[in-house]
């Protein structure tokens, strides 16, 4: 005998956000449950833009940040940092946890830590002088700004000497934390202000809250 | 007048467009940079003259409502400053017209080498 069972899953895609996962991610990050759901909408769009598998691949990440899919020094580093498990794709929980670092309420130490890893291009645990110069040149290159190489040297050296208090020709995590305390402006791109009110700023994120009151109980 | 904020190498890197995750969420803000060796006071005077206003944050009534732009000056070295101009409010096409016609023409004498090329419209929305 056959019958039909009504299911809550009607109309949902196979990759849908588990309400418990949403609650767990909200608890671990600076986001509310609604904001995690809003991020899921964005994640679904990004993760299915080229390869429809619900995971963000490097090309999809590039596409989201740069329409013309230009490869770039920083986009690669950021991708690698988002890909916490290091398996070549960004999964939803990695996406949320990484973006949480950019939340206005996230602790400074988290932001400083992320930035340090970002700038440590070859992951040696240190930022070397030539790496700093490389990054400045890459930035100038992509933005058509015109600075003489003398000026670049001067800026890089001045910055590096200020940060490298131990004088060992490299900036370690400790020196970086100190530098950031004295130059807080350096971390300004580690905060995305509108992450604070994601659901209000972007009304196009339609909230289909799958989380019931029962799920919210700890 | 106050000295402009001094930028270090990490500030410059932080202003990189490629490391701007806001692109995941919204259209890129209208913003341009250019370099100048001129005195800050001269740059500001020139900006004020071009936009016809008395403060650096300025609004002018254009054909399509008020156009508000904001400008910041940062020091890179003793001889070099970076000027950032961005649109705060108003019609984008009007802002671009202002940049292409009035701003660039007016700043020509003060700017190091060429001003950046106009932003690709497809890249901005």
- Domains in chain A: boundaries: 20-101
Residue B32 lies in a domain: yes
**Which residues face B73 on adjacent strands?**
B83
A64: chain B residues, CB-CB within 8 Å: 23-24
Q: Which of A174, A34, A31, A46 is nearest to A101 (CA)?
A: A31
* Nearest-angstrom CA–CA distance, A176 and A182: 10
CATH of the domain at B19: 3.30.310.80
Dist CA B77 CA A205 (whole Å) = 44
Is the model's pLDDT at A15 over the cut of 80?
A: no
H helix runs in A48-148, sequence order: 58-65, 73-82, 92-100, 108-119, 129-143
User: If you write DSSP's letter for every residue of B50-65 in order, what string do you get?
Assistant: HHT-SSSSEEEEETTE
Give the structural domain span for B35.
Answer: 9-55+66-107
Which is it for strands B58-62 and B65-75: parallel, antiparallel or unpaired?
Answer: antiparallel
Grade residue A111 by pLDDT with cuts at 50, 70 and 90.
Answer: very high
Looking at the structure of chain B, the number of domains it has is 1
- In this prediction, residue A67 carries a pLDDT of 61
Report the pLDDT value the prediction gives residue A27, as an integer from 0 to 100: 95
Torsion of CA A195, A198, A200, A204, to 10 degrees: 140
Evaluate whether residue B100 is within a structural domain. Answer: yes
The answer to whether residues A22 and A209 touch, using CB atoms and an 8 Å cutoff, is no
Q: If pLDDT is split at 50, 70 and 90, which confidence band does A119 have?
A: very high
Enumerate the residues of chain A whose CB falls inside 8 A of the CB of residue B33. Answer: 143, 145
DSSP state, A183? -
**Predicted confidence (pLDDT) per residue in A58-80, tens digit:** 989 988 887 654 556 778 889 99
Q: Would the CB atoms of A183 and B17 count as touching at under 8 Å?
A: no
pLDDT at A135 over 70: yes
Contact A188 B117 (CB under 8 A): no
Report residues of chain B scoring pLDDT below 70: 1-4, 16-19, 26-35, 51-65, 113-125
Kindly indicate the confidence band of residue A211, based on its pLDDT and cuts at 50, 70 and 90: very low
Q: How many CB pairs under 8 A join A and B?
A: 107
How many degrees, rounded to 5, is the angle at CA B23 between CA B102 and CA A160? Answer: 85
Say which range, A51-55, A134-138, A201-205, B22-26, has the weakest mean pLDDT.
A201-205
B50 within domain boundaries:
yes
Separation between Cα atoms, residue B69 and residue B51, nearest integer Å: 9
Residue B33 has what pLDDT? 66
Is residue B79 assigned to a domain? yes
Mean pLDDT of the A98-110 span: 94
**A20-101: CATH number:** 1.10.238.10
């Amino acid at each position: 005998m056959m019958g039909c069972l009504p299911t809550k899953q009607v109309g949902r895609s196979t990759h849908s956000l588990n309400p418990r996962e949403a609650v767990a991610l909200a608890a671990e990050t600076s986001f509310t449950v609604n904001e995690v759901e809003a991020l899921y909408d964005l994640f679904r769009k990004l993760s299915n833009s080229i390869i429809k598998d619900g995971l963000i691949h490097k090309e999809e990440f590039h596409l989201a940040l740069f329409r013309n899919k230009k490869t770039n020094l920083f986009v690669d580093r950021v991708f690698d940092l988002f890909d916490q498990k290091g398996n070549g794709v960004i999964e939803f929980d990695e996406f949320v946890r990484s973006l949480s670092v950019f939340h206005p309420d996230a602790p400074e130490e988290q932001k400083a830590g992320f930035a340090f890893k970002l700038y440590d291009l070859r992951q040696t645990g240190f930022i070397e002088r030539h790496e700093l110069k490389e990054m400045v040149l890459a930035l100038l290159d992509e933005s058509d700004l015109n600075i003489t190489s003398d000026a670049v040297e001067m800026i890089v050296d001045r910055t590096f000497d200020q940060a490298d208090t131990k004088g060992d020709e490299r900036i370690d995590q400790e020196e970086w934390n100190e530098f950031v305390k004295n130059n807080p402006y350096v971390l300004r791109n580690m905060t995305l202000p509108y992450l604070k009110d994601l659901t209000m700023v972007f009304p196009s994120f339609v909230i289909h809250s799958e989380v019931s009151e029962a799920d919210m109980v700890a | 007048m106050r000295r402009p904020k001094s930028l270090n190498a990490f500030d410059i890197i932080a202003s990189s467009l490629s490391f701007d995750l806001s692109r995941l969420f919204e259209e890129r803000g209208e913003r341009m940079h250019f370099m100048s060796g001129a005195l800050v006071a001269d740059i500001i005077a020139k900006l004020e003259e071009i936009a016809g206003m008395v403060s650096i944050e300025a609004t002018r009534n254009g054909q399509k409502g008020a156009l508000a732009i904001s400008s910041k000056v940062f020091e890179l070295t003793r001889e070099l400053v970076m000027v950032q101009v961005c649109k705060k409010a108003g019609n984008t096409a009007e802002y671009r017209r202002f940049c292409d016609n009035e701003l660039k023409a007016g700043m020509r004498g003060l700017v190091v080498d060429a001003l950046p090329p106009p932003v690709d419209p497809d890249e901005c929305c």
